[in-house]
Amino acid sequence: METVRPRHTGFCFGVRDALELTSRAIEGGLPTLALGQVVHNDKALEELEARGLGRAQELPPAGGPQVVVTAHGAPPELLEEARRRGLTVVDTTCPLVSRVQLHARRLAAQGLPVTVVGHAQHAEVRGVVGWAAEEGSPEVSVVASPEEAERLPWRARRGVVSQSTFPQDRFQEIVGRLRGRGEELEVRDTTCPVVNQRHREAVGSLLDEADVVVVVGGRGSANTQALAETCARRLPTFQIETAAEIEPGWFRPGQRVGITSGTSTPAWVVDEVEAVCRDL
Ligand code: SF4
């Protein structure tokens, strides 16, 4: 099959740097534990775990291993508790996630209710909510759709930020819905430019040139899922984690296969997918 691949696939700088910091922490020889998934890719995770990285959802007790905060960041109370227990923290929070936290804090410091547009259960959103609350926001809410935004209680003024990986067009749609209720909004578009660029590349060229799309990335990766949803609105789209999941029955002879990836997918996994598609 002929394949089409946009310029940007593979890791974003945030995930790449987080993995490098984690790798260095492991090499330091101390027991190391990641709080959650440092990367939404099983193969990359297996490699780190084979080198000694542990994984947990909660902080270890005092005297336990050093803990890696992932690129998604963490709420302030977790960092405070780690300090209280005397744990060493390796903070790999992406600077663009720190930017979301900073804007949420600044809006909260103005005394505004803060609305985070994103998925309430996502680690990044839980962290941002924590920072806004700590800064004294009178009310912190999370919405992921215009319908949820409609259900928020009316406020004369409101601060709004976005989860970094939330699709920018949907963020703007939700902001529009809140504006339509006559609220005065302080909006900080904190969507990630790297993710936005991948969406633009998908919509701007990939979907025009391809007949079918394969999106490579972890099923737990918010930006991979959003990218797959964008592609699926126009073309048959399959989301996979590895080349082994490709089924020849997805394609018809002569079709062009568009291949793109989430930001936590290693480039070599995308290369493998492309090679398998070409050989079909
Ligand atoms: S997707 Fe964007 S915000 Fe998330 S880690 Fe990558 S660069 Fe940072």
Over residues 91-118, the pLDDT tens digits come to: 999 999 999 999 999 999 999 999 999 9
Q: What class has domain 96-191?
A: alpha beta
On average, the pLDDT of the chain sits at: 95
Matching fold, domains 2-10+194-279 and 96-191: yes
Asked whether the CA dihedral 188, 194, 195, 201 is positive or negative, the reply is positive
The residue whose CB lies within 8 Å of the most ligand 1 atoms, and thus the one to mutate among 99, 165, 221, 224, is 165
Where in the chain are the domains?
2-10+194-279, 13-93, 96-191
Percentage with pLDDT > 90 across the chain: 90
The residue whose CB lies within 8 Å of the most ligand 1 atoms, and thus the one to mutate among 94, 198, 227, is 94
Q: Is the Cβ–Cβ distance between 62 and 38 less than 8 Å?
A: no
Which letter does DSSP use for residue 273 in this model? H
**Domain over 2-10+194-279 is classified CATH 3.10.580.10:** no
Locate 262 and state its tokens. Answer: 């989430």
pLDDT at 111: 98
- CB within 6 Å of ligand 1 — which residues? 12-15, 71, 94, 96-97, 164-165, 192, 194-195, 223, 263
pLDDT tens digits for 259-280?
999 999 999 999 999 999 999 9
Which one, of 176, 184, 181, lies nearest residue 145 by Cα?
176
Q: Above 90 in pLDDT, residue 222?
A: no
Give CATH for domain 13-93. Answer: 3.40.50.11270
Percentage with pLDDT > 70 across the chain: 100
Q: Above 90 in pLDDT, residue 134?
A: yes
pLDDT at 202: 87
pLDDT at 32: 97
Which one, of 15, 28, 18, lies nearest residue 65 by Cα?
28
- Average pLDDT (2-9) is 93
Q: Whose CA is nearest to atom 6 of ligand 1?
A: 14
- Maximal CA-CA distance, the chain: 62
Q: Which residues contact 102 (CB under 8 A, 6 or more apart)?
A: none
Q: Above 90 in pLDDT, residue 246?
A: yes
Residue 115 has phi, psi (to 5 degrees) of -110, 125
pLDDT tens digits for 159-212?
999 999 999 999 999 999 999 999 999 999 999 999 999 989 888 889 999 999
Which one, of 226, 198, 219, 203, lies nearest residue 118 by Cα?
226
Instruction: Give the ligand 1 atom nearest the CA of 18.
Output: 5
pLDDT at 204: 84
Residues annotated as catalytic (active site), given as ranges = 124
Length of the chain: 280
Residue 269 has phi, psi (to 5 degrees) of -70, -40
Q: Whose CA is nearest to atom 5 of ligand 1?
A: 14
Which letter does DSSP use for residue 87 in this model? -
Instruction: Give the ligand 1 atom nearest the CA of 96.
Output: 3
Cα of 223 to ligand 1 centre, how many Å?
9
pLDDT at 92: 97
